[in-house]
């Protein structure tokens, strides 16, 4: 692990929120009591969530890529059998999951977790099972969420919510950790998103950003945007490219964070040379207590 990066908050420090007592009811019961959510197919759906063509476009592309999985396959992720399990993508995802679980176990705690961009729910399930803690998975993709609720219906620790994270009435200061896996690129303003998620954390809570690229400068980001446009155009869905946002490290300026994994490190490069699966992108840990002026609750 690397040392804390020197990215100090630029705004004035605010008073730290006072300790919040643990609710007597479970997270699932608390979510079920929130206003504006309707249970549909095992998923709590935000009534204000309007239909979005992004879901249709996203699923159409994933279908072409061979990345729409059966219930049986989802149940085994991130260790599916056959060629899928041998693929580089799932070997890397399994490694990211292993490292995240190891960190959270070592950190301790008993509070619930939130996964934003949970999709078909496989990581939420692994977190709930591996840590024996409640997990809430949030996404805007109702099709994948319905599959998650169906496949993992037997888990008493899991809840799935369809909604816009910026407007969902989630309880503030409720979660011990928030995980943002491979999805910060779907949000145009990463700083606003991070502020929102920090507001949902307890004082000692951590936000983990994993499996998402950050670019050194604008030129690198623009080159990536051009590649995305060519790729999605080739799949007949050029409009999907506009849903991907190429964030540079400058977008995180002023945020105190720690890089728990850096794919550019000597160790990571040596392991890749030995054909050991390594995540492609950095793993960032952002603690609420280190960013008191940023959290929006």
CATH number (domain holding residue 152): 3.40.50.150
- pLDDT of 16: 41
Nearest partner of 246 among 262, 232, 226, 263, judged by Cα: 226
In a domain, 234, yes or no: yes
- pLDDT of 10: 42
- pLDDT of 165: 97
Lookup: tokens for 293: 């002026």
In a domain, 8, yes or no: no
- pLDDT of 83: 92
In a domain, 20, yes or no: no
Helix orientation angle between 122-131 and 88-107, rounded to the nearest 10 degrees: 30
Where do the H-state alpha helices sit in the chain?
Answer: 27-32, 53-65, 71-76, 82-86, 88-107, 122-131, 142-151, 190-199, 218-234, 266-273
- pLDDT of 23: 65
Terminal-to-terminal C-alpha distance of the chain: 30
- pLDDT of 297: 63
Name the CA radius of gyration of the chain, rounded: 19
* Cα distance between residue 60 and residue 280, in whole Å: 25
Domains in the chain, number: 1
Range of the domain at 247: 27-290
In a domain, 273, yes or no: yes
Strands 113-116 and 43-46: unpaired
Lookup: tokens for 42: 């095992």
- pLDDT of 86: 87
In a domain, 174, yes or no: yes
Q: Profile the chain (297 residues) by mean pLDDT over runs of 10 residues.
A: 42 43 81 97 96 91 95 97 90 94 96 98 98 98 97 97 97 97 97 98 97 96 97 95 96 97 91 88 97 85
- pLDDT of 275: 86
């Amino acid at each position: 692990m690397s040392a804390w990066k020197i990215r100090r908050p630029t705004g004035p420090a605010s008073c730290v929120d006072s300790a919040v007592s643990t609710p007597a009811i479970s997270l699932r019961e608390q979510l079920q009591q929130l206003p504006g959510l309707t249970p549909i197919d095992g998923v709590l759906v935000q009534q204000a969530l309007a239909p979005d063509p992004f879901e249709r476009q996203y699923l159409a592309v994933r279908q072409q890529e061979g990345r729409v999985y059966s219930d049986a396959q989802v149940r085994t992720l991130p260790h599916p059998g056959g060629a899928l399990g041998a693929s580089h993508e799932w070997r890397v995802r399994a490694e990211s999951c292993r490292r995240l679980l190891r960190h959270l176990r070592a950190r301790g705690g008993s509070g619930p977790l939130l996964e934003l961009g949970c999709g078909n729910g496989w990581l939420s399930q692994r977190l709930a099972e591996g840590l024996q803690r409640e997990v809430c998975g949030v996404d805007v993709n109702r099709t994948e969420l319905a599959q998650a609720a169906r496949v993992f219906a037997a888990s008493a620790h899991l809840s799935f919510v369809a909604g816009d994270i910026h407007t969902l009435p989630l309880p503030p200061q409720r979660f011990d950790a928030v995980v943002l896996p491979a999805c910060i690129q779907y949000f145009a303003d990463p700083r606003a998103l991070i502020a929102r998620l920090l507001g949902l954390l307890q004082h000692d809570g951590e936000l983990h950003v994993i499996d998402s690229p950050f670019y050194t400068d604008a030129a690198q980001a623009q080159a990536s945007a051009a590649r995305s446009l060519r790729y999605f155009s080739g799949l007949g869905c050029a409009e999907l490219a506009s849903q991907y946002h190429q964030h540079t490290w400058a977008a995180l300026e002023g945020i105190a964070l720690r890089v728990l994994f850096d794919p550019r490190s000597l160790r990571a490069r040596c392991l890749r040379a030995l054909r050991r699966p390594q995540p492609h992108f950095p793993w960032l840990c952002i603690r609420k207590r280190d960013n008191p002026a940023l959290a929006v609750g």
